[in-house]
Chain A
């Protein structure tokens, strides 16, 4: 199995005033193409930090990160942004849709940024994604006119529409009731299965973690359990 994501001895230390906060203390991880990985752990153990580093939003203090063959370690901010544009799809707890844009507008914006102005998503892929997420009839709605579950599905569509190498989801069901959580989790599972989409998902809900094919547990900035 070829690794689409590889992390070696990753550390991240925040400096708050004169105090060093060691958020990551040497993480090693390899994720294969098409894997669905969940990461669990108590609040403050470094899950979000790890995800931000993987997505190139944060520069790690030390260690190596490889995304689909590209080494983020010594890259400039601009280059990491470019890797993110080409290879990463983010899903957040708070959906993070543009409130002034319709679902359609949110998708088009992501496509526009990904394609740098050129249309590179074929209509076939688009239809398939919308159908899979059952969004065909929601595209004209603004985020505030949709339920939380629907908004998160739009966010999922936005993340997957560009067919990224990896989807990074930070507590995607954290703001949803159990019914909507289930819908969203099922859809993540479907995206993983039907599109062979690699997914790394943070959650602190064991039921949510269970939909993944591989479960990882973190504590105090290191991986303490990995069933993969």
Chain B
């Protein structure tokens, strides 16, 4: 019987290829999308934690979470924050969001006050030097490696060419950094920033300090960095719905592809099904022959899809600023969707085949 399945699969190479491609597409969709969502979130979380400040102070309309480029917070809040008990250091950051290099995703630029920022985050120049004028930026090692940038390279920031003066480590916040004052000038937002990083004396007391800031400067947003990090998944609107839609979509694609493929197949093989019946094959035997064939095709599709996803993921990471992270639970989910979708899609044709009238099937031309 195994050879019957194998020979059926070989018999119609085009049909097999199309079905495999359909299943692979579904798998690719799931793996890439979940990989992207996961990769982007974890990357953001990692870099958010990398700033080293326990608390971030901001105000409505200058959310650090949305791609808004409006700087509406007065940097002089920094002076008042420093005076609050438990606050060790502060550093204002202006965040500007621009579309990604390849048009995919978005990229951020941080305007920083180098001295206070590096005091809080431990940021240091590992190559080259700090930005020296309004036309220079520093970038992190990932950005340098991924975008193939070195000291003296040109880089587009808000539509104009800027020069890479230095490369810094470790990763924190936006990958491109420039002088806050220069950013303010570009955006004609004198003395403004997006948020203020706050380092506390005792990290165990961060909540107490958070409460104190809220009391002394009410009406602003005082966030714990760790809450921001874990909140990304929830804060990017619709991300769950998006992932779920992708899952449902690829299940449907897998099902339909196999349904169509097996449906035409069983019509073509009506007489062979009659022969199976004349040999005494039971309904469940016939269903299992068709199901096994569908599952083998789906399995090939799943493997192809995984390979394509890994390849595409590699290409995306190389060619864009997007980052992917494949996790085994999602790989497994994608594989199950391909296999179950295929098996489910084959069920209707299989049952139809099994219930054919044997005498009619045998005389089918």
Which residues in A have some Cβ–Cβ distance to B below 8 Å?
52, 55, 57-58, 78, 81-86, 88, 90, 92, 96-98, 100-101, 105, 108-110, 112-114, 117, 158
Contact call A105/B279, Cβ cutoff below 8 A? no
By a CB distance below 8 angstroms, the chain A residues around B280 are 81-86, 88, 113-114
Say whether B311 faces chain A, with CB atoms less than 8 Å apart.
Answer: no
By a CB distance below 8 angstroms, the chain A residues around B272 are 98
Per-residue CB contact flags for chain B residues 266-280 toward chain A (1 = under 8 Å, else 0) read: 000001101111111
* Bound CA span A82–B282, Å: 7
The distance from the CB of B287 to the nearest CB of chain A, in whole angstroms, is 13
The distance from the CB of A85 to the nearest CB of chain B, in whole angstroms, is 2
The secondary-structure label for the interface of chain B is: helix
Interface residues on B, range: 20 to 34
Asked, given contacts A52-B359, A57-B358, A92-B362, whether A105 binds B7 with beta carbons under 8 Å apart, the answer is yes
Q: A90-B279, A113-B279 are in contact. List 12 more A-B contacts (CB 8 A).
A: A81-B280, A81-B282, A82-B282, A84-B279, A84-B280, A85-B282, A100-B7, A105-B3, A108-B3, A110-B279, A113-B280, A158-B279
Which residues in B have some Cβ–Cβ distance to A below 8 Å?
1, 3-4, 7-8, 10-11, 271-272, 274-283, 285, 358-359, 362
By a CB distance below 8 angstroms, the chain B residues around A55 are 278
Contact call B3/A113, Cβ cutoff below 8 A? no
The distance from the CB of A27 to the nearest CB of chain B, in whole angstroms, is 18
* Bound CA span A109–B274, Å: 14
Contact call B359/A57, Cβ cutoff below 8 A? yes
Residue of A nearest to B4 (CB): A109
With most chain A CB atoms within 10 A of its CB, the pick from B4, B7, B277, B280 is B280
Contact call B7/A85, Cβ cutoff below 8 A? no
By a CB distance below 8 angstroms, the chain A residues around B276 are 113
* Bound CA span A83–B280, Å: 8
The distance from the CB of B259 to the nearest CB of chain A, in whole angstroms, is 22
Contact call B4/A98, Cβ cutoff below 8 A? yes
The distance from the CB of B127 to the nearest CB of chain A, in whole angstroms, is 64
Residue of B nearest to A164 (CB): B280
Asked, given contacts A57-B358, A57-B359, A98-B272, whether A109 binds B279 with beta carbons under 8 Å apart, the answer is yes
Contact call A101/B279, Cβ cutoff below 8 A? no
Asked, given contacts A57-B358, A81-B280, A109-B1, whether A98 binds B285 with beta carbons under 8 Å apart, the answer is no
Residue of A nearest to B272 (CB): A98
With most chain B CB atoms within 10 A of its CB, the pick from A86, A90, A97 is A90
